[in-house]
Amino acid sequence: MNFIKLNIVLSLMFLTSSFTILFSQINQVDSQGRKQGKWVKTYADSDDIRYEGEFKDDKPVGKFVYYYPDNSIRSIIKHDPNSDRSEAYFYHPSKELIAHGIYRGKEKDSVWSHFLTTGHYSYTETYKNGVLHGERITYYGQEAVEDPEVKLVLRKANYENGKPHGEYVEYFADGLIKGKGQYVHGKLNGVIIKNHANGNIMIKERWKNNVKHGWWVSYDESGKEDGRILYRNGTLMEGKQKDEYLEKLKKEGVSPNK
């Protein structure tokens, strides 16, 4: 009996010693204060793990796993050992993948894909040095397409240095164009077309540096004009004020749309 008790005591001592050694080997820094080896960090005032992974000379290497407080996976970041590139996967608390993309250092880079919890694509966007730069595509979800693998485009636009720049196009679910226009360095400029569901023009808007300017013309579904209004630098022109303004432009040979 005493022999059995001794074995139990020795086993407990061994386990305690093993745990002590294990925990003494994580969250280490070298003489220069750089993180080295395996690290496990918890949420403040909690034993719940926030992330775990390995460092070499203060730089993350290999796979890092980040957790929600309930211990479900928030994200997985896979670091390239030979560059500052890393591949990221983000998850919804209910475990569905919601985003995937590339980092260069701490900045987003290249194409990032975002998903709905149904598995459908939500949108893809292109980054350069952490800012939107390139094409951004928004997709229809479950309300328009059953198969989550099918990408049904709702909107295409282009970005330059974080701002919409260039032509954008919006689509109905059947593929007909719903609207189109263009941005110049983040501001709407020129003619913006919005269509009826049959593809015919519903309204023709005109913008100048992000304010309404010029004739706005509306049409019925057959394509017949059914109304028009005039803006001047964001101000709706009406009555005598509009008549005088048009007369002045006529004498100067200037279009109200300029």
Tell me the pLDDT tens digit for each residue of 107-131: 999 999 999 999 999 999 999 999 9
Q: Within 10 Å of residue 231's Cβ, how many Cβ atoms?
A: 20
| Selection from 89, 132, 83, 135 nearest residue 109 by Cα | 132
* Tally of domains within the chain: 1
Tokens read off for 23: 């925990």
pLDDT value for 5: 53
Its domain, for residue 83, covers 35-95
Examine residue 227 and state whether it is found in any structural domain, yes or no: no
Q: Tens-digit pLDDT profile for the chain (258 aa)?
A: 455 554 544 454 444 444 444 445 899 999 999 999 999 999 998 999 999 999 999 999 999 999 999 999 999 999 998 899 999 999 999 999 999 999 999 999 999 999 999 999 999 999 999 999 999 999 999 999 999 999 999 999 999 999 999 999 999 999 999 999 999 999 999 999 999 999 999 999 999 999 999 999 999 999 999 999 999 999 999 999 999 999 999 999 999 999
Question: The pTM is what?
Answer: 0.84
Examine residue 87 and state whether it is found in any structural domain, yes or no: yes
One-letter amino acid of 109: D
Examine residue 61 and state whether it is found in any structural domain, yes or no: yes
Examine residue 66 and state whether it is found in any structural domain, yes or no: yes
Residue 206: exposure state from Cβ atoms within 10 A (0-12, 13-18, ≥19): buried
pLDDT value for 48: 95
Is the Cα dihedral 104, 107, 111, 116 positive or negative?
A: positive
Cβ(169)–Cβ(177) below 8 Å: yes
pLDDT value for 45: 86
Examine residue 6 and state whether it is found in any structural domain, yes or no: no
Q: Return d(Cα 212, Cα 57) in angstroms, integer.
A: 56
Q: Which residues have C-beta within 8 Å of that of residue 18, sequence separation ≥ 6?
A: none
Examine residue 247 and state whether it is found in any structural domain, yes or no: no
Write the CA distances from 90 to 69, 168, 200, 211, integer angstroms. 15, 28, 41, 38
Coil, strand or helix at 240: helix
Examine residue 132 and state whether it is found in any structural domain, yes or no: no
pLDDT value for 22: 44
Q: Within 10 Å of residue 173's Cβ, how many Cβ atoms?
A: 14
Examine residue 76 and state whether it is found in any structural domain, yes or no: yes
pLDDT value for 27: 95
Number of H helices, E strands in the chain: 2, 21
pLDDT value for 4: 55
